[in-house]
Structure 1
């Protein structure tokens, strides 16, 4: 993984992203696409960019 200055340029694996969002590993695989969480594939592995996860989470805010 690559470390960015603020962590925003950093990519997380499925397990790390699940912990970061407080979701299950299963949710990350099954529901991330359905819920519009930006995803990347590197070498056949699913990855999530920290900045994208933060932006997506902000968009889920309930007023």
Structure 2
């Protein structure tokens, strides 16, 4: 199952995706939020010990 459920801890990929969405939507920077968000989400995954699959489009 791919969807996080109540009572289950979401994995690092779900947490990174949620972080990316908030950075892009909340707009902490005046410009280039997408680049900043992708960089932060990738760094979060690497800090969590997970790999970033760059082959996915």
Q: TM-score, normalised by structure 1?
A: 0.30
- The structure with the greater share of residues assigned to strand is 1
Q: Which has the larger radius of gyration?
A: 2
Q: TM-score, normalised by structure 2?
A: 0.32
Q: Which has the higher contact order (CA 8 A, sep 6+)?
A: 1
- The structure with the greater share of residues assigned to helix is 2
